[in-house]
Structure 1
Amino acid sequence: MAGVLLAPPAALARELADTIYSGGPILTMNDATPSAEAVAVRDGKVLAVGTAAEVESHRGPETKTFDLAGRTMLPGFFDAHGHMLMGGLQALSANLLSPPDGEVTDIASLTESLRGWAASNADAVAQANLVIGFGYDPAQLVEERHPTREDLDTVSADVPVFVVHQSGHMGAANSKALEAAGITSDSEDPAGGKILRGADGQPTGVLEENAFYAALSKLIQPLGAEGFETFARAGAELWARYGYTTAEEGRSVPATADVLRKVADEGGFKIDVLTYPDVLVDRDYIAAHVSREYQNRFRVAGAKLTIDGSPQGFTALRDRPYYDPVGDYPPGYKGYAAATMEQTVAVIDWAFANGIQINTHANAEGASDMLIASIDAATKKYGPADRRAVLIHGQFLREDQVDSYKRLNVFMSLFPMHTFYWGDWHREHTVGPELVDDISPTGWLVKRGMRFSTHHDAPVAFPDSMRVLDATVTRRSRSGDIVGPAQRVDVMTALKAMTIWPAYQHFEETTKGSIEPGKLADFVVLSADPTAIDPETLDTIDVLATIKEGEVVFEAR
């Protein structure tokens, strides 16, 4: 009794940890204490961060030890922009990616991959009446073109065959798929989309933007709710394998958002999932469901607007002609808008009036001009506020546009992974050698003291966190060239753009993004310390474990 009475107040108030993490470098992303020797966790939250001796004071008889064994621990990665549901579709489809993520190099290997997948998944093909592949890219094919319906008819003349371009903004269908989608020579191009046609006026099978989305929706509709639930679970598992403790479905519609909610309510997500439904589809749904709070690891975070398309696919809206587009394009071709100026103005006005966060896909300069004008008008009308409107992608930007985004307090989520996958293509065909160094201009933002995030936009590529990190730091293309040396950033800045800054982007900086007492115990364990190795080897780091609120949700074998 006397011992208890004499014990100091600090000892009496000491909280005991469920788990103590130590034994390797810990990068906190907290500028006040950027590194630590140990972290204590209790009830899914960080209890203490500091030296091994300081944290050891929270050990009790039931406390477990997580030995990092020389490995490096960081805050769990926060998905700044991706399409988790479509990533699940990619995980369950034929892999049509080119090296290093796949083996497709020409039309012949593409069709062969489809045949092999169809043979290995005969029951699924029969059930869905569909052969589907994901990730082909004309920029990496010997022929430098899309597959046509004739090419895909060689895979099957009886079953619809549909392949999705790596951008996720276009694709190609065989004759049966065109028939199932209701597309004929008499079909008109939808607003914000195109049905490509041959000299005879017949559809070639290639569909862009809204024409593509409509066809894909019809073709996968027979999968039903159970099919989409499978995609959702597979997507969340794929994201966790790359160290993400928060995943995003960057464009949903009410039906797919409801699927995500259903999976969440059934306990199907081990990581947090948030979504931004398409504002041009159903504003009332967004207004009724938007929330800053997760329920069963899911929330509707705001609204999504898409102004233009894919730069590598020549559908993004530029302010000048494409440099040397590959395909049948008229002189002076600049791409086109998927949303009108009137729609853009109205959507931004609605979001500002209702206090709803708006994420806007604007890839090229013309689209950014539309977005900047709309946000400028809404800001003048409603006054300044902490709205955190987000620019998604911004791959082709002028420097004056970056100044405008800073003035208007727009948070910029950029896509430097493009420097690896399409840097050479952009130099040769989209923007040309004079402008290619400034694609995804992270250096301009650093120079202006702006916070930003970086993303993978999966299933444009796999949600490979180390590929995102590597591209942001090195900007090295497939050919080995450095695309924009002045736009490179240091490793710590690149890590903040994957952790604490995207947490801020999503209004979650008080609970996620850094390892600090009181925040969620969301961690990723890496095979090496990114700040202590040659930056040219960042893409060789492996994700060894992903920890969500103190629970291991992925562990590499």
Structure 2
Amino acid sequence: MSGPEMIITNAKVLTMDEDNPRAEAVALSGGRILAVGSREEVEALAGPGTRLLDAGGRTLLPGFVESHLHLVLGGNELSQLQLGGVHGFDDLARLFRDYAAKNPELPLLMAQGAAYEILDHPVTRQDLDQVIADRPIAMMAPDHHTVWANTAALKAAGILHGAAMPPGHVVVMGSDGTATGELLEFEAFSPVLALTGDLHLQLGIATGGEPDPWPDAAQRAKDKQKVAAGLAHCAMHGITSMVNMDGNRYTCVLLKEMEQEGRLTARVKVPFHFKPHMDLTELDRASAMAAEFQGEWVTSGFVKMFMDGVVDSRTAFMLHDYPGTTERGAPLFEAERFKDICTEIDRRGLQIAVHAIGDGAVRQTIDGYEAARLRNGPRDSRHRIEHIELIDRADVPRLGALGITASVQPPHPPGAMDFPMSTMDHVFHRHRWKDAYLTRTLAEHGAHLAFASDWPVTDVSVMRGIQAALTRKPYEGCQDERVGLMEVLKAYTAGGAWAAHMEGLTGKLRKGLAADLVLIDGDIESIPAEQVGRTGIALTVAGGRVTHDPSGMAEGAE
């Protein structure tokens, strides 16, 4: 065989390479990009074994980089009951009972995507007992920070009468001395999730620990099936690289085994999860993971932390009281200790990613990064803040000044995609709406942007995310926080790759980089913004391998 393995031609190629921003064709060979240029020059490279794909004028982009998702959790949840968009007791009961009838063997009937407003009052275990009383059932909020469980589930989990919890994690108790059914944060609801038998998949985000005992080959095979389901779901949406925001060494081992088995269809970066109770010596595990996993498909090298919870449950840490309350949430790390932790992680040459939603959490995170830089000296650290749902204006320029990446999610602002606008009134003072869910303002002050979905918190569809970014309406009396199409596409490709220290491998269509590409089913520059989310993915290629081809265009090519 001579010539490139595949040429995609007659395309509107947006390379995200500032030195060569547009082209018509791309040639692939050996998992790498062989050439990017005009139809004439690239087609001239074709040999007798080359597959020639006519893109028909569609847009060809670098494969999407999903900068913040939960691959294993998302893959696991694909088989659970989905409650997105469901409202009212009747629909809730009908769906749960149907799911129960179809799954008589499940030890826990688990549902995902239950809106905080799913009933016209706060959900209790008694509400869920009326749905199903004789089997354990539970449902997770879209943000994955609250679970509601029925009495049978609370009994089976051993928490009906409460349980001691670390700060920020709450088994909510009623006046009768028993649990109400509402469980806030991981430690509180992990005893319920454990009923499924797959809690070991949650350890990366729940405790930062490893499975004990280590899963045997049969269990790993089951777990890899869940990962494979998640990977296939992501490939359908053009994703070729992802930053997994939970995980541990076990996650890396599963992914590495899948790579060796030829089943890994995206590049995955996995963190070490540092929890508040841990001693700094635990970071030896983070360094070990970074050293063990540094190939082109499975990497580590960063540490994830949670600074706070979420706004809906008022566990996000605010500088001021929530509307109508004296609550502010609380940081999960003490400020000075957090500076020491950041300094040690940075000293080891590892990247830091911190979940920070409230303006108090965002400030404390920036303070930690600033302390690390002052103590260790500046380096190309690319530390990141995940979410940034509210930020004090004084802190906005600090991201750019410190080289911090704003890892934000276009589907998250209420009203932009699936989350209801009602959240805004509950948790943000009106005069602070102008400081909520900033994108353009952060970019204009020098912050690097990386876009994502936080799947399974929201739909992983990048096209829907692009639409949300392009069509988001300014809140009443507030500035427009949208960035332009090219900036949006960059934040889903080259920007995400840079933020993950992967720019030498992927994120642009440039000769020598990985053959990671996505072909949009249309010309993205001419599709009306409000229709982008309905635009399909015609082809996904990761490392030169076709991972999604709904119409068989790559199979029929010669």
Global fold match (TM > 0.5): yes
Q: Give the structure 1 partner of residue 212 of structure 2.
A: none
Deviations 1:43-89 (A, max 9, x none): 11111111111112211122110111232211110011011111112
Question: Residues 92-491 of structure 1: matches in 2 within 5 Å?
Answer: 92-98=79-85, 104-123=86-105, 125=106, 129-139=107-117, 141-143=118-120, 145=122, 147-221=123-197, 225-280=220-275, 282-291=282-291, 294-295=294-295, 297-323=297-323, 331-419=325-413, 420=416, 421-422=418-419, 424-476=421-473, 485-491=479-485
CA RMSD of aligned residues (A): 2.3
Give 1:221 shift: 3.3
Contact 1:426–1:436 at 8 Å: present in 2 too? no
Give 1:136 shift: 0.7
Q: Give the structure 2 partner of residue 525 of structure 1.
A: 519
Q: Distance in 2 between matches of 1:76 and 1:449?
A: 25
Contact 1:257–1:277 at 8 Å: present in 2 too? no
Q: Give the structure 2 partner of residue 7 of structure 1.
A: none
Q: Give the structure 2 partner of residue 497 of structure 1.
A: 491
Give 1:97 shift: 0.9
Q: Give the structure 2 partner of residue 56 of structure 1.
A: 43
The 3 A distance-change label for structure 1 pair 253 and 69 is same
Give 1:291 shift: 4.7
**Equivalent AA in structure 2 for residue 96 of structure 1:** L
Deviations 1:280-303 (A, max 9, x none): 265332211115965483222311
Q: Choose which of 522, 543, 546 in structure 2 pairs with 1:552.
A: 546
Tell me if 1:514 matches 2:502.
Answer: no
Gaps of 5+ in 2: 200-218, 552-558
Q: Distance in 1 between matches of 2:185 and 2:382?
A: 27
Q: Give the structure 2 partner of residue 3 of structure 1.
A: none
Give 1:257 shift: 4.2
Indicate the larger mover: 375-384 or 181-190: 181-190
The aligned length equals 523
Q: Distance in 1 between matches of 2:90 and 2:33?
A: 53
Give 1:416 shift: 2.7
Q: Distance in 2 between matches of 1:526 and 1:457?
A: 22
Q: Give the structure 2 partner of residue 46 of structure 1.
A: 33
Name segments (4+ residues, structure 1) moved above 6 Å. Answer: none
Q: Distance in 1 between matches of 2:54 and 2:472?
A: 34
Give 1:433 shift: 3.1
The 3 A distance-change label for structure 1 pair 482 and 268 is farther
Secondary structure class of the residue paired with 1:391: strand
The 3 A distance-change label for structure 1 pair 520 and 186 is closer
Secondary structure class of the residue paired with 1:529: coil
**Equivalent AA in structure 2 for residue 137 of structure 1:** A
**Equivalent AA in structure 2 for residue 157 of structure 1:** A
**Equivalent AA in structure 2 for residue 290 of structure 1:** A
Q: Distance in 2 between matches of 1:381 and 1:459?
A: 37
**Equivalent AA in structure 1 for residue 11 of structure 2:** G
Give 1:379 shift: 1.2
TM-score (ref. length: structure 1) = 0.88
Gaps of 5+ in 1: 1-14, 99-103, 325-330
Contact 2:255–2:264 at 8 Å: present in 1 too? no
Deviations 1:161-192 (A, max 9, x none): 12111001121112222223221324233322
The 3 A distance-change label for structure 1 pair 229 and 178 is farther
**Equivalent AA in structure 2 for residue 268 of structure 1:** R
Q: Distance in 1 between matches of 2:236 and 2:163?
A: 42
**Equivalent AA in structure 1 for residue 371 of structure 2:** A
Q: Distance in 2 between matches of 1:74 and 1:292?
A: 31
Give 1:342 shift: 4.8
